[in-house]
């Protein structure tokens, strides 16, 4: 599918409140047919989804420690997580320390997922991801670990006000770019 047709389909699914504010861009390289070029998303004429742009307002993580030390990421620890740590330590650790250990383990898992999703985004072809988005359901795109699918689903008009408001806890665990587009969409409700 050509870029212009794909762009037209993606913009056709944009929420009416974001129409004209969110744009999909792909500067083409006419003489390099084997190159996919660079694709990015702009909001209010500012380049938002482009990892290599130094003026980008979104934080891109480089290490697991950066994610663990980010105060914006909050990981909820369940009683099952605490029980798993208790079983691993054979019950010899105080209760307050078990909570700290469980949170640390969960943050490590979360950091690895975020870095993996971010790395796959840097390698992915925007056009391939956009075609995948157009051929899958909104639910799959929202639940996906692919950052780009999450972003495209969040700005979609098929995601209603109630669903956006009910997603607030899940979004806290997502990459900052997904959180940015969530807040952008929430601000238009």
Separation between Cα atoms, residue 123 and residue 146, nearest integer Å: 12
Least reliable range by pLDDT among 6-10, 49-53, 72-76? 49-53
Length of the chain: 189
User: Across all residues in the chain, what is the average pLDDT?
Assistant: 82
For 49-65, what is the mean pLDDT?
A: 67
Strand partners, 43: 22, 46
The pLDDT value recorded for residue 130 is 86
Other C-beta atoms lying within 10 Å of the C-beta of residue 69: 11
The pLDDT value recorded for residue 124 is 56
Q: Is the pLDDT of residue 148 over 80?
A: yes
Nearest 5°: the CA angle 93, 63, 127 is 125
The pLDDT value recorded for residue 125 is 67
Separation between Cα atoms, residue 157 and residue 15, nearest integer Å: 4
Percentage above 70 pLDDT, the chain: 84
Stated pTM of the model = 0.71
Query: In the chain, what are the helix, strand and coil shares in percent, each to the nearest 5?
Result: 55, 10, 35
The pLDDT value recorded for residue 133 is 92
Q: How confident is the model at residue 120 (pLDDT cuts 50, 70, 90)?
A: low
Which whole-number Å values give the CA distances from 44 to 19, 48, 156, in the listed order?
10, 9, 17
The pLDDT value recorded for residue 154 is 94
Separation between Cα atoms, residue 160 and residue 11, nearest integer Å: 17
Q: Is the pLDDT of residue 45 over 60?
A: yes
165-170 contacts, C-beta under 8 A, 24 or more apart: 165/189, 167/142, 169/76
Helix residue ranges, H only, 24-175: 64-68, 79-89, 95-123, 126-135, 138-143, 147-154, 161-166, 168-171
Are 6 and 131 a contacting pair, CB within 8 Å? Answer: yes
For 106-127, what is the mean pLDDT?
A: 75
The pLDDT value recorded for residue 92 is 83
Q: Is the pLDDT of residue 123 over 70?
A: no
């Amino acid at each position: 599918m050509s870029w212009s047709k794909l762009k037209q389909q993606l913009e056709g699914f944009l929420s009416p409140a974001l129409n004209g504010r969110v744009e999909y861009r792909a500067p083409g390289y006419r003489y390099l047919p084997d190159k996919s070029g660079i694709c990015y998303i702009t909001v209010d004429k500012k380049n938002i989804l482009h990892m290599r742009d130094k003026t980008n307002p979104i934080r891109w993580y480089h290490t697991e420690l950066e994610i663990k030390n980010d105060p914006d990421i909050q990981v909820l620890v369940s009683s099952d997580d605490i029980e798993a740590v208790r079983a691993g330590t054979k019950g010899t650790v105080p209760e307050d320390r078990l909570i700290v250990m469980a949170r640390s383990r969960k943050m490590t898992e979360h950091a690895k997922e975020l870095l993996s999703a971010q790395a796959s985004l840097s390698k992915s072809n925007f056009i391939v991801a956009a075609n995948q988005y157009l051929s899958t359901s909104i639910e799959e795109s929202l639940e996906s670990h692919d950052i780009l699918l999450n972003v495209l689903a969040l700005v979609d008009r098929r995601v209603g006000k109630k669903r956006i408001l009910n997603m607030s806890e899940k979004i806290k665990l997502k990459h900052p770019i997904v959180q940015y587009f969530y807040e952008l969409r929430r601000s238009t409700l």
